[in-house]
A = this chain, B = another copy of it.
Amino acid sequence: MSEHTNNAEEIRIKALLEAWTDAVRRHDVPAIIAHHEPDILMFDLPPPLQCKGIEAYEKTWDLLFRYHQPGTAFDIQELTITAGQDVAFGAAIMRCGPDSSSNPADKDGFLFRLTVGLRKVDGHWRVAHEHHSVPATD
């Protein structure tokens, strides 16, 4: 897929996503939402089915922070970015946790899937869509 790669943009987006995961690990909400669009569409891991807009997006982090302890994993394990000049998407396998329950089964946290959609606004990449999930088990 060499004809489709756009390495300079991919490097910028990878840096943005690494900074975002670092902000999540620190529970730094202003930094988490700093590069997100006002009309972001969020498909979060827990319900509801969808959240529309930056205010609803911001509130989704409260729920995670009841489970996630500052400084524990919210890490990119695998990442593929496909970037054009002004639209891009990324797909990642992420690790989250562990929680504070001291449950040995949770000592390594859990893996989830993340897809991010971005568009360039005034020369800067902005996150317009996130989709977080685990495979359905029922």
On A, residues with C-beta under 8 Å from B are 1, 3-4, 37, 39, 41, 43-50, 80, 82-89, 91, 93, 111, 113, 115, 117, 119, 121, 128-129, 131, 133-138
Chain B nearest CB, measured from A70 CB (Å): 22
Compute how far the CA of A126 lies from the CA of B4 in the bound complex, rounded to whole angstroms.
12
Interface of A is mostly: strand
Lowest 6 CB-CB distances: which A-B pairs, in order?
Answer: A133-B133, A84-B87, A89-B117, A84-B84, A47-B135, A43-B113
Judge whether B43 and A82 touch: CB under 8 Å. no
Of B46, B50, B91, the contact of A117 (CB 8 Å cutoff):
B91
Chain B nearest CB, measured from A128 CB (Å): 6
Of B86, B91, B136, the contact of A134 (CB 8 Å cutoff):
B136
Judge whether A128 and B87 touch: CB under 8 Å. no
Of B46, B47, B117, B135, the contact of A82 (CB 8 Å cutoff):
B117
